[in-house]
Structure 1
């Protein structure tokens, strides 16, 4: 599609009297949205990488979808949209894309792409007995419910199930890539997953999360159709997701289902026990090898837990220590793989052979990763570390299940630059926070996008009149924990009592979160969102509802928060970003502490060390810019629509007393500022009085 024709179509849609204004009730023309759409079209047409920062209210999703859909339809291309949160996925799939399908004027298809284990595998479901062998399966009653549900299910997705299903049960019947027979399955490619794959083939827009993007990348784009244009929305989280997904993990949670599938319980109801083609002696011998390899794997994790972690939450591991631990199970696991390969030739049943091949592939991948890490040179830009996942139990399995060993790329930017961006003709990276003070260099370093086009567009909302930022100077520094939490609690109480709507209290650690929650709950008459009310719908009432992260899922907590009328939610990282509560349900955000990363994070420590070795200043080059980005995300929770008004309170006095505080103050939008509590309370009392 010629660029001039595309530009005309964009203007026709987004212009002051365009399709969007005519078709979307109460829509007001936003010049920033039109500018963004033209920039996206230019980048796609010029096959460029574009880093695009657009403030809240610009209408980012429509601004990149419209030009890219028009181009994809005209030129028979496909667009991959990767999001960081389910909230944005739902918005795209339930609102933006259906709206565009009705009103854009071109015929296109779109679909949501999910990981394989979200789908029911009918072959594996059929293999679970209806009665008997209860000790080998998680819950046969749940399996029976799944069978009934599957008969009427359209998509076969776990998210469609409206009755309780445990993870253990679902993992016995879901699709597992290594265990899938593909087109050779007896269902002839008509299973839920294969139907989804066909829908993807006919779609011009694929929507998925960042994790599936990287899983597909590491599998050489095996799982999804080829796409020519990549959109990475919520791109400010991409580097941390990349580190997680491109790294390697050794844990019992990662291999437990493989071992259980191979050995079952007492050699029954499992792969090896079902191999009636083999003499009993050979089966028992293979079972012994499997149990021995599993034991050695568990011993490695227990050794890491007891001797390396030694009571710490997370610890960096030397190359020598890593090699010593991994080599403990490499040989016995290799013997299991060799044994399984040997019996593959004698397995007569197709489904059993497919299952055996799947286990072989999974164990081979584990072995390849273990050898890669064990042989990794000292100067490789990878961090080796282990962490405590849960409280230690009493036995070997419980202790090992609480330990994970990781190999994490310190600079995923190099991998993104070499493997991700070259796969696409053009890449659009979008977020409300991609720069610090208008400078994109920090994010470009993290994402490998130096040389990309950049554009920053402000929010069209009137923050000058609708937002007040309260900056008290008297709050003790966070290092004086008892004094700090006591004073922050007093400030929170004063501010909440002045507010008529909801409040987010954003914390940077669970220690602070729990301390402030408990202090507030014991100081103010309130209704607690506890276990008894966890799944009840809270109706609007005059009583103040108090909640804290962890009381329930984020979705349930937000539903209760919106329904309560007046609520205070104490949240940590989950609630700093990806949360949308417009209107008076949220009229105040309290930032209790500047969001610096935990100094004992091994990944951060490795980045700091590498920065120093290169002659940089880690605090100003890494820690401050990262904290400013997170700070801006927290600020963005409040003003979500043109009519929103409210107060952001920053209860960390370092923003005023430290030199680096200027970086945070410069990140504030144009707004009213005060250091007087009474002015903040007065603003809150008048927030909706003139509405």
Structure 2
């Protein structure tokens, strides 16, 4: 088992080799992670931006005696680990005693090109191979096929991230999901399969990098995706419950059932495929009668339709002929049967109307028809029973302490506050003992940032931004001379603010989410300091723009979940029913997490300066305001607009002359 001095020594070696400097928080984190792994005790580590938390957990992971899995929420962090951090770290530590530097990346099957689909083509709804599309899509598919063949020839990974630029629709022409896959034993190209080779490499590696969703499928749903491991480090852990919920959410709509029926007609001799098509019609009619939103009780006609779909799908599956074990498989039949199996599984779950699930009807859009959705009411119980009781888990993020402590996040992932082992304490009795530590940040938030709460503004209304809020936004942006990231609670509010600023401050460049792809918007934002970028959720959490580019972060309102959000409202009601405070446990915790992430966009280096401006006076006036403020970086706070405008003007002038 790794000793603390050994971990500290190897971390210093790695930091020196990478040209970095010792950071006290990073050293403390590495020591705590090593101790947690050795003691088989769960750990929550809050590590602020700039701490270098990746090395803080990677070094003890490489020293640990058994396989370690690292799970991230975003592809960006996964890419950073695999393409930058791990190659440099393993080079720095290669040859050191007791360090196994082998690692692999593991993703869901649809993230890899499928050589069977590349070489044999895509079956249509009846299972026959589709002609290559003409025009630009056909050209792109040919390009993707050529790329996949080159990857196979060069022993490449076949991962989507490495492919030529493409759309989701184009990628589906060269990939399969796990239900469509023929299986390595039956596929004529199983020996070359990119997904299977990735799994084989993971079995040979000490460290496996994956994502939250695949971890959930493996650990919680019990589908073996990851080779056996001893410890899992969950980075971006503030996202875990949302990602696990997403992985356990199923959708069903009539057109999907119809398609499964059409694909079955070529393979099923009896009337079972036609019966499934009739069930699709019944589902369409029942959905048309339903109102978008959550069903506390499933309407009788909708329940009957789901039962009809379930039973028709079961009969259709049974009607498929058994495959010839000695002959080549029929890929069209395998994939058609898989689509019916998926319909059956989802319809069965929805018809069961379990108290542990939430069922709702999503309103349709121009591109997507109305569809039924089902998600688990809670995921903490599954995580506790199927992950935390089996493995040692290290959770880490820049935002794990909400309201000033770890209780909210710990409870959400399946750890009870009463099980926490405090400094100097020793575990006693039964339970999943855990420890929570905050290793701080190299940033001096009190000196580098101002939190401005616009207390004089009226509370936000349902009709979006009012005149007073737009005036405030324009005055702040004018003082900052651009350099503004606007984080809004809705796309409508972001677009309204962008339109107003373009009109009032035409000398600045104002960009709104949707004007271009996010990487292009971020590039324009960085290149021209006199720019404002307005958007919604993906900007709250996914943007990293250090320097003078961003000196003002605007938050239009406290980001509580919408009152009609089916899952959040169900969870809030369940918390109230259990004797808790549903608003604080669900809505306020959700808002605190997003606000902490949003405010974290401002200070990204030790030299950054700026203002986080919250245009919602409830942060200062409401009883829950203290909980929300305690979740934010400890910046100097004011509600005086004149002081803030002067500060922004000084920062702007310094940026121009700097």
Q: TM-score range by the shorter chain?
A: 0.7 to 0.9
Distance apart, 1:254 and its partner CA: 6.1
In structure 2, the residue matched to 1:128 is 121
1:41 aligns with 2:34: yes
In structure 2, the residue matched to 1:293 is 276
1:421 aligns with 2:423: no
Q: Deviations over 1:597-624 (max 9, x none)?
A: 1111111221122122222222233322
8 Å CA contact 2:140, 2:170 repeated in 1: yes
- 2:458 partner SS: coil
CA distance in 1, matches of 2:310, 2:635: 60
Match of 2:17 among 23, 26, 29: 23
CA distance in 2, matches of 1:319, 1:235: 34
| Number of residue equivalences | 623
1:303 aligns with 2:286: yes
User: Which sits farther off after the overlay, 449-458 or 293-302?
Assistant: 293-302
In structure 2, the residue matched to 1:330 is 310
In structure 1, the residue matched to 2:397 is 431
In structure 1, the residue matched to 2:415 is 449
In structure 2, the residue matched to 1:12 is 9
Q: Deviations over 1:154-190 (max 9, x none)?
A: 22233322244x4444323313323323033223512
- 1:505 partner SS: strand
Match of 1:350 among 328, 344, 350: 328
In structure 2, do the counterparts of structure 1 residues 23 and 346 end up closer, same or farther at CA, with 3 Å as the change threshold? closer
8 Å CA contact 1:416, 1:447 repeated in 2: yes
Name the Cα RMSD after superposition. 2.8
Distance apart, 1:295 and its partner CA: 4.7
Distance apart, 1:261 and its partner CA: 4.6
In structure 1, the residue matched to 2:357 is 382
In structure 2, do the counterparts of structure 1 residues 347 and 260 end up closer, same or farther at CA, with 3 Å as the change threshold? farther
In structure 2, do the counterparts of structure 1 residues 434 and 679 end up closer, same or farther at CA, with 3 Å as the change threshold? same
TM-score (normalizing by structure 1): 0.84
In structure 2, the residue matched to 1:535 is none
- 2:623 partner SS: coil
8 Å CA contact 1:211, 1:245 repeated in 2: yes
CA distance in 1, matches of 2:157, 2:261: 29
- 1:207 partner SS: strand
- 2:504 partner SS: coil
In structure 2, do the counterparts of structure 1 residues 253 and 245 end up closer, same or farther at CA, with 3 Å as the change threshold? farther
In structure 2, the residue matched to 1:605 is 569
In structure 1, the residue matched to 2:72 is 83
- 1:522 partner SS: helix
8 Å CA contact 1:485, 1:515 repeated in 2: no
Distance apart, 1:636 and its partner CA: 0.7
Distance apart, 1:152 and its partner CA: 1.7
1:366 aligns with 2:368: no
Distance apart, 1:464 and its partner CA: 1.7
CA distance in 2, matches of 1:403, 1:135: 30
Distance apart, 1:506 and its partner CA: 0.7
1:659 aligns with 2:623: yes
Unpaired runs of 5+ residues, structure 2, are 420-433
In structure 2, the residue matched to 1:142 is 140
In structure 2, do the counterparts of structure 1 residues 213 and 256 end up closer, same or farther at CA, with 3 Å as the change threshold? farther
User: Which sits farther off after the overlay, 485-494 or 245-254?
Assistant: 245-254
Q: Deviations over 1:324-368 (max 9, x none)?
A: 23013223323321221xx2357985131x552444344234324
CA distance in 2, matches of 1:357, 1:206: 30
In structure 1, the residue matched to 2:177 is 176
Distance apart, 1:65 and its partner CA: 0.9
In structure 2, do the counterparts of structure 1 residues 30 and 146 end up closer, same or farther at CA, with 3 Å as the change threshold? closer
8 Å CA contact 1:414, 1:448 repeated in 2: yes
In structure 2, do the counterparts of structure 1 residues 347 and 169 end up closer, same or farther at CA, with 3 Å as the change threshold? farther
1:68 aligns with 2:70: no
Q: Deviations over 1:420-472 (max 9, x none)?
A: 22342x10011112222332222222111122221123222011211112222
CA distance in 1, matches of 2:190, 2:453: 65
